[in-house]
């Protein structure tokens, strides 16, 4: 059985998706991994439990109460921590499987889409504006479409990757954009738009949190069209 120090070392050496996962999630997750390993819980069970927690947390956003929104955000953080732990458990128990990989891959599209979709309903409960509901809920569709494009890219990865890397900025500009993107969106960190708007709503301006699904809808469709054009350009080249 792996010790806590070994699990912490393993997590620290994992390739990180950004600043928040590296310095927060992967420093907390080894404690959960240590407990789950000793309880004998499988990697797939952890993945499925995390997905269920994320979906229940997303339902919290349908409420008009900001306290439920905060609760939903905390549950989403727990899902992200378990998402780090399930891979570690799979490696240390040699439980890697095609089903486990499939379950892990679909969890992100489902949770991302649910987060936007249910915050849209929460925005409606606050404002009673059906047009806001229709537009902001479309963000869930945008994230689903983006996930489908990501799947398509994985099937045609080499050609798409070679094309998409041609026009990317380099040096200082590239690193700056990388860290700004990581701080703003990666893994729902403390600078993520949702928690920022929740804090502004709580301390200064009631109802400002309804802007989150609107911003995500605009961003989701922007990312979708960008990926679509990159794939189309790659396939035509």
Task: Give which of 52, 99, 101 is closest to 78, Cα–Cα.
Answer: 52
At a CB cut-off of 8 Å and minimum separation 6, what does 124 contact? 130, 132, 133
Helix (H, G, I), strand (E, B) or coil at 41: coil
Q: What are phi and psi of 229, to 5 degrees?
A: -65, -35
pLDDT digits (tens, 9 = 90+) for 130-149: 999 999 999 888 888 888 88
CA torsion angle for 52, 58, 63, 67 (degrees, to 10)? Answer: 90
The residue with greater pLDDT, 217 or 18, is 217
CA distance 182 to 192: 9
pLDDT surpassing 50 at residue 163: no
Q: Higher-confidence residue: 181 or 214? A: 214
Q: What is the pLDDT of residue 69?
A: 96
Mean pLDDT (the chain) is: 83
Is the distance from CB of 85 to CB of 39 less than 8 angstroms? no
Q: Which CATH number fits domain 4-236: 1.20.120.1760, 1.20.120.1200, 2.60.120.10, 3.30.1950.10?
A: 1.20.120.1760
Interior/surface letters 3-34, b for 16+ CB within 10 angstroms, e for the rest: eeeebbebbeeeebebbbbbebbbebbbebbb
- pLDDT tens, 182-234? 666 666 666 788 998 999 999 998 889 999 999 989 988 888 888 888 877 87
């Amino acid at each position: 059985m792996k010790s806590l120090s070994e699990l912490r070392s393993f997590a620290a050496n994992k390739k990180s998706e950004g600043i928040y996962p590296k310095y927060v999630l992967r420093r907390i997750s080894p404690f959960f991994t240590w407990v789950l390993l000793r309880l004998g819980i499988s990697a797939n069970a952890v993945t499925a439990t995390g997905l269920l927690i994320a979906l229940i947390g997303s339902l919290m956003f349908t409420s008009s109460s900001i306290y439920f929104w905060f609760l939903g955000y905390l549950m989403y953080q727990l899902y992200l921590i378990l998402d780090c732990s399930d891979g570690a458990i799979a490696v240390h128990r040699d439980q890697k499987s095609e089903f486990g990989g499939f379950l892990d891959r679909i969890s992100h599209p489902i949770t991302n889409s649910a987060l936007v979709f249910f915050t849209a309903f929460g925005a409606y409960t606050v404002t009673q504006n059906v047009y806001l509901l229709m537009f902001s809920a479309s963000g869930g569709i945008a994230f689903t479409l983006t996930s489908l494009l990501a799947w398509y890219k994985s099937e045609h990865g080499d050609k798409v990757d070679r094309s998409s890397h041609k026009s990317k900025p380099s040096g200082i500009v590239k690193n700056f954009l990388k860290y700004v993107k990581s701080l703003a969106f990666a893994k729902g960190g403390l600078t993520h738009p949702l928690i920022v708007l929740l804090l502004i709503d709580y301390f200064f301006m009631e109802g400002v949190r309804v802007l989150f699904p609107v911003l995500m809808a605009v961003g989701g469709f922007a990312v979708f069209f960008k990926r679509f054009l990159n794939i189309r350009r790659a396939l035509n080249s």
